[in-house]
Chain A
């Protein structure tokens, strides 16, 4: 019998039943809920007189459109200025009360971006199936978890049945081997991968990330990688369980303890692909090829090393690609041949479920310390991923480092990642952002997003433009 991949193992462990057409019922261990994609699902439950199948499987929190300004945040839900946002946050609270679902509400210290909070609380554990009505649920795969984003009707389906209806994906292995330059981060690895395989490269697959480079990353860095699996086209990304995973999980509030911990660890240690497992596609990446990355266009695959120049439509291999480049250049207001380091920036955003964990903030703060943001910037924002990340950062004095440099230090939430609240780009403004999507209008109408690592964003804030942090020594 041939060996199994980690995905095969997780799939089999959660298979409830399979229909003749190949559609399977997959059992869901953990369901995370936020305010944007859940209201109609709860309404659907109510209309059909159903109740949640297993209440304890659910954990909810508002994140997408909570305000991040302390002044607006201070008076709770009533204080949210935008009526649509207020109604969504309030509706989540009411639904959770009605159905008896645990919610970390806006005033709870544990509230934050659902993909930061799940692992932070140990609500996401290795070997689980995790779903959430949000495509970046892939983040949780870093813990050896089968985690995927779902739509509103699936949210209702999971609430009512604890199962998801789906067909099995194919297996892809992305192996990253070798040593990284010390200024090159998990974010650069995943941007480089997306640049290599394209935004459709992972479509139809579950991607497992492996290799010595991935092994050497912290769990937080691994989350950054899995987070953007969806930008590579894969609904789920995975990393096998190792000692790094176990020590991350141990002691988290919802993690098992005592004898049950030992039992769990014994099981979790089996959550790796077998040596003789067969993958449908294998991609090999050499870590030493990866330089700090900057996205220049309107799709995450339009990404280049910071040392590069903006491409021209003439370099394209097909007419469609040429049109894509042309369209992106027009939207981004860039010229072919322009150096990436010459792009002038208007705003900086350090945050989002990709890069708002404590390590990200520490790394950015190390670059910023003792410096001032460029006077040409309109704004530089740091938005911690959760209340607990914020608290930890403040204990370490990182808030002061950022504030003294001229950054704004905000309350946790999705913020400028998708501009559902007031944190957005103006028309035509360029932003160095640690988020995950650079689509047209994503960070505000006409806004121009450049995806980078926290270190690159921090250095760009000081310089006012992108710099190659491998050689950059600060402004002083």
Chain B
């Protein structure tokens, strides 16, 4: 997992509440054997006018011109601004995989679904909670200014606007440390690798047959 320190990027809207994980990545794409490559099918039912299927050439599909995310000014966005209860529904980890594969590194919303929120951290995405009024202001500012960007400083826990204004945000200290150091669950466990090795050493004497090769 890539460490997350300070990130600056274009902000794009997903201007609706209760975006569920099936909307983030529809179930027909879950048969894949990969965790990468979901980006072109992120929000598939919203971004395209036809029904998406695995293996289609997405560049040839009719795009939904009414979806703001499809507009030129939001291309290469890395920060998603959205509404409440983002990521509800099934616990599929494909949802953060798809957001990450599309390029999003930061999500801003007034609330997130629980499991999804945790899954984001595990995959190196920073979900930031802000009050409704702040989210509202950000939507207004973003719509008013093509190419609207924000900077997020995780160490200092602040969002910095281009005019220098800042907004603080909360993040669990343990999750913060993991993101700053690029530690996923495996990385965290591997900090205990001496203990795992010591355990193995001891068990090699007590139950040696466990360590015979299959």
Partners in one complex: yes
Interface size class of A (residues with CB under 8 A): 35 or more
B212 to A56, Cβ gap below 8 A?
Answer: yes
| Residues 161-208 of B contacting A (Cβ, < 8 Å) | 184-186, 189-190, 192-193, 195-196, 199-200, 203, 206-208
Inter-chain pairs besides A260-B209, A267-B207, 15 sampled, C-beta below 8 Å: A16-B195, A17-B192, A17-B195, A39-B34, A40-B33, A48-B184, A102-B214, A153-B185, A157-B185, A157-B186, A161-B193, A163-B189, A165-B185, A263-B209, A264-B209
- Report B189 CB to chain A, min CB distance, Å: 5
Within 8 A of B (CB), among A134-179: 152-153, 156-157, 160-163, 165
| CB-based contact A263/B33 at 8 Å | no
Number of interface residues of B (CB under 8 A): 29
Which of A51-87 touch B at CB < 8 Å?
53-54, 56-59, 84, 87
Contacts A39-B34, A43-B35, A161-B196 known; A50 to B186 CB distance under 8 Å?
yes
**Cβ proximity bits A243-281 to B, threshold 8 Å, 1 near / 0 not:** 000000000001010001001100100000000000000
CA distance A153 to B123 in the complex (A): 11
Whether B34 lies near A256 (C-beta < 8 A) is no
Of B186, B199, B206, B209, which one neighbours A16 at CB under 8 angstroms? B199
Query: Closest approach, in angstroms, between the C-beta of A171 and any C-beta of chain B?
Result: 23
Contact A256 B212 (CB under 8 A): yes
B141 in the interface (beta carbon within 8 A): no
Query: Does A202 sit at the interface, judged by CB under 8 A?
Result: no
B196–A123 touching, CB < 8 Å? no
In contact, A260 and B208 (Cβ under 8 angstroms): yes
A317 within 8 A of B: no
Contacts of A127 in B (CB 8 A): 207
Complex: A229 Cα to B185 Cα, angstroms: 28
A125, CB-defined interface residue at 8 Å: yes
Shortest distance from the beta carbon of A16 to any chain B beta carbon, whole Å:
5
- Let me know if A322 is at the binding interface, CB within 8 A: no
Q: Is the CB of A87 within 8 A of B33?
A: yes
Q: Is A27 an interface residue (CB 8 A)?
A: yes
Q: Find chain A residues with CB under 8 A from B210 CB.
A: 29, 125, 128
Residues of A within 8 A of B (CB): 16-17, 25, 27, 29, 39-40, 43-44, 47-48, 50, 53-54, 56-59, 84, 87-88, 91, 102, 123, 125, 127-128, 152-153, 156-157, 160-163, 165, 254, 256, 260, 263-264, 267
Q: List 23 A-B contacts (CB under 8 A).
A: A25-B196, A27-B196, A29-B210, A39-B33, A40-B35, A43-B33, A43-B36, A47-B36, A50-B186, A56-B212, A56-B213, A102-B214, A128-B210, A152-B93, A153-B122, A157-B189, A160-B186, A160-B189, A162-B196, A162-B200, A165-B189, A254-B212, A267-B206
Q: Nearest Cβ distance between residue B29 and chain A, in whole angstroms?
A: 12
Is B31 in contact with chain A by the CB < 8 A criterion?
Answer: yes
B94 shortest CB reach to chain A, Å: 9
Contact partners of A59 in chain B: CB under 8 A: 214
Q: Name which residue of chain B comes closest to A267, CB basis.
A: B207
**Those 3 A-B pairs whose CB atoms lie nearest each other, nearest first:** A39-B33, A256-B209, A56-B213
Contacts of A43 in B (CB 8 A): 33-36
Cβ < 8 Å to A, chain B residues 25-45: 31, 33-36
* Cα–Cα distance between A59 and B143 once the two chains are bound (Å): 55
Q: Measured between alpha carbons, how far is A161 from B195 in the docked complex, in Å? A: 11
> Which residues on the A side are within 8 Å of B189 (C-beta)?
25, 157, 160-161, 163, 165
Instruction: Type the 1/0 row for B1-43, where 1 means its CB is closer than 8 Å to any CB of A.
Output: 1000000000000000000000000000001011110000000
Residues of A within 8 A of B214 (CB): 56-59, 102, 123, 254
How far is A48 from B188 in the complex, measured between Cα atoms in Å? Answer: 14
Which B residues are in CB contact (< 8 Å) with A47? Answer: 35-36
Min CB–CB distance A397 → chain B (angstroms): 32
Q: Encode contact with A along B48-87: 1 for CB under 8 Å, 0 otherwise.
A: 0000000000000000000000000000000000000000
Q: How many whole Å from A101's CB to the nearest CB in chain B?
A: 9
A91 to B32, CA, bound (A): 11
State A48–B34 Cα separation when bound (angstroms): 14
Q: How far is the CB of A179 from chain B (nearest CB, A)?
A: 36
In the complex, the answer to whether A264 meets B207 with C-beta atoms within 8 Å is yes
Q: Is the CB of B203 within 8 A of A27?
A: yes
Complex Cα spacing A328 to B192, Å:
49
How far is A128 from B214 in the complex, measured between Cα atoms in Å? Answer: 14
Docked Cα-Cα span, A304 to B196, in Å, equals: 47
Inter-chain CA distance A461–B213, complex, in Å, is: 44
In the bound complex, what is the Cα–Cα distance between A58 and B214 (angstroms)?
8
Bound-complex Cα distance A263 to B1 (A): 43
Q: Please measure, in the bound complex, the distance between the C-alpha atom of A84 and the C-alpha atom of B210, giving whole angstroms.
A: 35
- Select from chain B the residue with minimum beta-carbon distance to A38: B33
**Taking CB as reference atom, which chain B residue is nearest A50?**
B186
* Partner pick for A44 among B35, B190, B200, B203, CB 8 A cutoff: B35
CB distance from B178 to the nearest CB of A (A): 14
Q: How near does chain A come to B172, taking the closest CB pair, in angstroms?
A: 12
Q: How far is the CA of A56 from the CA of B204 in the complex (A)?
A: 14
Which of A40, A161, A260 is close to B190, meaning CB atoms less than 8 Å apart?
Answer: A161
Asked if residues B186 and A161 are in contact (CB atoms below 8 Å), the reply is: yes
